[in-house]
Amino acid sequence: MSVAKLSVEPKGFAELAALWQQAPELFEAELYAAAEESAMLVQREVVERTPMGAQNFLGRSIQAEQTVVFEGGVSTVVGTSLSYAVPVELGTKPHFPPLQPLAEWAEVVLKLDAEEAQRAAFAIARKISQKGTEGRFMFRDGFKASEPYIRRRFARAVANIKAQLAAL
């Protein structure tokens, strides 16, 4: 799976560790909910920034995986199993790409007939062979756009834990 490792470090780790010890089940449930919501937001933000191919395979392949809660933290992954996600994310050096995916894209996105699409695909491939491609940075930018919400959501999870502990 193509994945960029991104993380949000919570403030006040000692306080979080103490809360974990007081009520591990409550802590895990709150962290799990916050991580699941955050992952879905990151997924949406990344997909919105992903270039649409002929069948939008890349955008449809981007998924949030199962959240895992472990002692001291929570982990979730937003990624894709498609190998070309990394070159789309980061860009490429000049190379001559396969024509068929470009032709399919030209037919669907540019609304060209098959013959025109082949000519367009060759022209696009020549340009890529000379200049490469620019990175789209959909994962980086999608995470960056999500980060303020993620921080607020985890702060709310900690506040919920404290409130529920105070009510006991």
Low-confidence ranges of the chain (pLDDT < 70): 1-14, 16-17, 54, 72
What integer pLDDT is reported at residue 9 of this predicted model? Answer: 63
What integer pLDDT is reported at residue 72 of this predicted model? Answer: 66
* Burial per residue of 79-114, b for 16 or more beta-carbon CB atoms within 10 angstroms, e otherwise: bbeeeebbbbbeebeeeebebebbbbbbbeeeebee
Domain positions in the chain are 13-81+136-167, 94-131
What integer pLDDT is reported at residue 52 of this predicted model? Answer: 82
- Quote the pTM value: 0.79
What integer pLDDT is reported at residue 84 of this predicted model? Answer: 81
What integer pLDDT is reported at residue 6 of this predicted model? Answer: 56
Q: What is the pLDDT of residues 89-104, one digit of tens each?
A: 999 999 999 998 888 8
Q: Shortest CA distance to 89 belongs to which of 65, 127, 62?
A: 62
